[in-house]
Amino acid sequence: MGPAELTGAIELRLEWFKARAHACRHHEEVALLLQEMDQILTFCNWEASQWRQRADACSAKDPNLREGLRAAACKMAATYDAQKLVFTNQCQDSWVLAADFLSRYRPDGYAVLEDGGE
Q: What is the pLDDT of residues 90-112, one digit of tens each?
A: 989 988 998 888 888 888 777 78
pLDDT above 70 coverage of the chain, percent: 92
Contacts of 58-64 spanning 24+ positions with Cβ under 8 A: none
Helix axes 3-57, 63-104, angle to 10 degrees: 160
Q: What is the pLDDT of residue 71?
A: 96
Spatial distance between the Cα atoms of 30 and 96, rounded to a whole number of angstroms: 12
Burial class of 2 by CB neighbour count within 10 A (0 to 12, 13 to 18, 19+): exposed
- pLDDT beyond 70 at 2: no
Q: For residue range 31-60, what is the model confidence (pLDDT) as tens digits?
A: 899 999 999 999 999 999 999 999 999 989
Q: Indicate the pLDDT class of residue 118, thresholds 50, 70 and 90.
A: low
Dihedral-angle region of residue 60 (phi above 0 means left; psi in -120 to 50 means alpha; beta otherwise): beta
Spatial distance between the Cα atoms of 22 and 88, rounded to a whole number of angstroms: 29
- pLDDT beyond 90 at 9: no
Q: Nearest to residue 73, comparing CAs of 59, 92, 53, 88?
A: 53
